[in-house]
Amino acid sequence: MCGGAGSRLEPAAAAEKPLVPVGGVPMVERVRRALAASRVKRVHAVASTRTPRTREWAESADCEVIDGTGEGYVADLDRALDAVGRPALTVAADLPLLAPGTVDRAIDGANGDSLAICVPADLKRDLGASVDTSFEHDGRELAPSGLNVVGEGEDRVVVRDDERLAVNVNRPGDLELARELAE
């Protein structure tokens, strides 16, 4: 998922959000590498009119490009699922610390269900990462990680205490944190 404008990241980013480098590598390329090293068989990039350079990157990286609507994450996700079907693993391009083993564990844990992989909101705060969205689940405040499995079965929430999943680059401080942790 790489079609967002990244307006909350400005002015820290001079490039489209997915192309902002972390550890010298664009975030979307870091995500692509994690997916390529996992058991994921095909990688699609959902780009929009807001991310024309990201579309060019995806085409050069041999990712099949799906045209997003540019109307937001949910609309782009719906477009992607219409194109690829279910089950599908989805990941936001602003998750630059994603690890292949984390991807494989999400796939293994799904068993045909839909999984929202979340992290404790306190973990994000303790790291200094922004918490833009959170919800209560089983007495804990959780934040979506940006990694999900969309299946045909039950909707489940899975909690991971994983710093790499807690850093979505949405704001300038998140970018600094991702760069520090990537070293």
Cβ atoms within 10 Å, residue 51? 26
Report the distance separating Cα 74 and Cα 78, nearest Å.
6
- What angle separates helix 52-60 from helix 27-36, to the nearest 10 degrees? 30
**Residue 74 banded pLDDT, cuts 50, 70, 90:** confident
Contact of 90 with 77, CB cutoff 8 Å: yes
- Provide the whole-model pTM: 0.93
From start to end of the chain, where are the E strands? 21-22, 25-26, 44-47, 64-67, 88-91, 114-120, 135-137, 140-150, 155-159
SS3 164: helix
pLDDT confidence of residue 69:
84
Contact of 40 with 90, CB cutoff 8 Å: no
Mean pLDDT across the stretch 59-64? 91
Q: Using only C-alpha atoms, what is the Rg of the chain?
A: 15
Domains annotated for the chain, with CATH where assigned, are: 7-182 (3.90.550.10)
Burial class of residue 89 in the structure, from the number of CB atoms within 10 Å of its CB (0-12 exposed, 13-18 middle, 19+ buried): buried
Report the distance separating Cα 132 and Cα 146, nearest Å.
12
The DSSP code sequence of 144-165 is EEEEEEE-SS-EEEEE---HHH
Q: Which residues touch 180 (CB under 8 Å, ≥6 apart)?
A: none
Least confident of 2-11, 53-62, 134-143, 146-155: 2-11
Q: What is the pLDDT of residues 110-133, one digit of tens each?
A: 999 999 999 999 999 999 999 999
Cβ atoms within 10 Å, residue 42? 9
pLDDT confidence of residue 120:
98
